Amino acid sequence: MAEPRAKNFIYEQIDADLAAGRHSTVVTRFPPEPNGYLHIGHAKSICLNHGIAAAYNGRFHLRFDDTNPSKEETRYVESIKEDLRWLGADWGDNLFFASDYFEQLHDWAVHLIREGRAFVCDLSGDEIRAHRGTLTTPGRESPFRGRSVEENLDLFARMRAGEFGDGEKVLRARIDMAHPNLNMRDPVLYRILHAKHHRTGDGWCIYPMYDFAHGQSDAIEGITHSICTLEFEDHRPLYNWFIDNLPVPHRPRQIEFARLNLTHTVMSKRRLLQLVNEGHVDGWDDPRMPTVSGLRRRGYTPEAIREFCDRVGVAKRNNTISLSLLEFCLRQDLEGRAPRRMAVLDPLKVVITNFPEATETYAGPNHPAEPAMGEREVPLTREIYIEREDFMEDPPKKYFRLAPGREVRLRYACYITCTDVVKDAEGRAVELRATFDPESRGGSTPDNRKVKGTIHWVSATENVPLEVRLYEPLFSAENPDDVPEGGSFLDNLNPESRRTVAAYGEPALRGTRPGEPVQFERKGYFVLDADCAEDRPVFHRSVTLRDSWAKQAKAGD
RNA sequence: AGGCCCAUGGUGUAAUGGUAGCACUUCGGAUUUUGGUUCCGUCAGUCUAGGUUCGAAUCCUAGUGGGCCUGCCA
């Protein structure tokens, strides 16, 4: 038996089932409804299910839970498959649809009717609700509960034949209207829906409810462990009731775990949809969205997401994971593989007054610790841009970047000393004058003098203009729901969540391909947008580098 | 209010009746041609009260706190 990397309570239960001989193999599944896009919470479930199947050398199924034609569309099926493939969750030949089982499910409904365990009910939706009772009071039995098997069979057949309109009748299980678990109070099994289904078309006008479809679909596929989130805990007795009362070929077991929550974001489909519909973001794949497509566009890698899903753990306690863990996983993954480049995001011109007119070329390793990644050429000219924040006219003690009279190293190139500050009418520095030490070419000097600061730079004449998008969390509050009485999570939307700047990059950036991570030295990891025009590259910042100076400076004020 | 579930540092997660560990975060230090990386260190935890036991984070009871459930959604 495989030794799982992260042992959690689900593995223990599976071990126990295997040890008791209840199963000889392990089969899991990911069962999305094709009515929306996948988010990082789904990724956790995918990694869990796929990881378990892999750990036990079992099978992993992708099954679309498409029992509600009024909400589901083929385009969602495609995007979900794309997201799974990208995440690396391979379902092999095991692609299924609950709608493939409609005929079998229907036969099982007939079976229940024959056994006297299901009946056709004419009550309206409102009446069923009124009969259901409340959390503290028992429900009342439907007046149609006592119909004969023959009448139920006839009525159900006519429901299927399309003789009734939407909502006129439903098929319900006959269980217990006084059950403390409301799911057991004669739950609806089938409803009438004259809607075109994305796969079965007009083949059906009655559709099974989730409860009647899910467990039986698991049983049909031989799923051994049906892993779902906590809110289905109350459905487990019903799940088991169907398995107990139907001649199903296998006996799956439902196990619940706590869904993933992340700070500074929302995770429910409803709210994500609201963000898109109300234009708070550009779309489902907006790089600020916690969707799989948004994270992908932001520059997250499947490896980083899988590592994250591994690290968050699996338990039954409600949890909220810190966004910093997600960012940590990305940095960790990109650190070793992203080629280094230089780009200036907030340019300040520097004229190196004693620099020759001709361009000089310096070699910069693509990675400081991986010589195998090679190097690229970086042109240095008399006029360059540096980051505005890398100069201070009146620096605090521990600032070791450029200041009047101070010397810094231009990364990979040489030392410069600031000699003059050119200011505009408001006294703001608009240009610096500097001199360079010809002895320092290559980044060090024969006298071995120490230069504390190394800053990045880009030639003012040999560069690539870039559009760069800088991101902050979509919500400024850790918990977007943390609002005063009567407020909305939208009140916590971060107005600074996206900032677009015009930047300059070194020429080697021209060779970057969409989706390929790069590190802009000292500024973070970036990714070239897949849809931008070739002559106007757009880079998204995936994540910043850790910045202990920023922290120190902030603590200083 | 009825049923079900949950409770370990700031966050997340281990310890399965026998020394409370790991990771993220925080804060420090070393190294560094990225204030990055790497390395080392630091702060900090078993919800409360009873009980069982030689011994309880772990088992039992009660309390407290939190989550879910009254769709012909999934």
Rounded distance between C-alpha atoms, residue A502 and residue A464, angstroms: 11
Tokens for A181, please give them. 């678990």
Predicted local distance difference test score (pLDDT) of residue A229: 98
DSSP 8-state class, residue A21? T
Predicted local distance difference test score (pLDDT) of residue A557: 64
For the purposes of burial, counting CB atoms within 10 Å of the CB of A183, is it exposed (0-12), middle (13-18) or buried (19 or more)?
A: middle
Q: pTM for this one?
A: 0.96
Task: State which nucleotides on strand B lie below 7 Å from a protein beta carbon.
Answer: 1-8, 10-16, 23-28, 33-38, 66-74
Predicted local distance difference test score (pLDDT) of residue A5: 45
Strand B atom within 7 Å of A33 CB: yes
Span CA (A37) to C1' (B49), Å:
48
Span CA (A321) to C1' (B36), Å:
25
Span CA (A8) to C1' (B15), Å:
12
C1'-nearest nucleotide to the CA of A269: B74
Q: Residue A219's beta-bridge partner residues? A: none
C1'-nearest nucleotide to the CA of A135: B2
Predicted local distance difference test score (pLDDT) of residue A535: 81
Predicted local distance difference test score (pLDDT) of residue A6: 54
Rg (CA), chain A: 31
C1'-nearest nucleotide to the CA of A270: B73
3-class secondary structure, A244:
helix
Tokens for A27, please give them. 């089969």
Rounded distance between C-alpha atoms, residue A313 and residue A260, angstroms: 10
Active site residues of A: 33, 259, 269
Strand B atom within 7 Å of A267 CB: no
Rounded distance between C-alpha atoms, residue A64 and residue A76, angstroms: 10
Strand B atom within 7 Å of A209 CB: yes
Residue nearest to nucleotide B38 (CA to C1'): A369
C1'-nearest nucleotide to the CA of A409: B33
Rounded distance between C-alpha atoms, residue A227 and residue A219, angstroms: 13
Predicted local distance difference test score (pLDDT) of residue A273: 95
Strand B atom within 7 Å of A412 CB: yes
Strand B: which of residues 84-113 in chain A lie with Cβ below 7 A?
A: none
DSSP 8-state class, residue A373? G
Predicted local distance difference test score (pLDDT) of residue A426: 95
Strand B atom within 7 Å of A320 CB: yes
Strand B atom within 7 Å of A522 CB: yes
Strand B atom within 7 Å of A370 CB: no
What's the pLDDT tens digit per position in A4-31? 345 899 999 999 999 999 999 999 999 9
Strand B atom within 7 Å of A138 CB: no
Residues of chain A with pLDDT under 50: 1-5
Strand B atom within 7 Å of A253 CB: no
Rounded distance between C-alpha atoms, residue A538 and residue A517, angstroms: 13
Residue A346 and residue A388 in contact, taking contact as beta carbons nearer than 8 Å = yes
Residue with tokens 């089982």: A101
Residue with tokens 């994971």: A321
ipTM of the complex: 0.97
Q: How many CB atoms lie within 10 A of CB A336?
A: 10
Tokens for A324, please give them. 């910093």
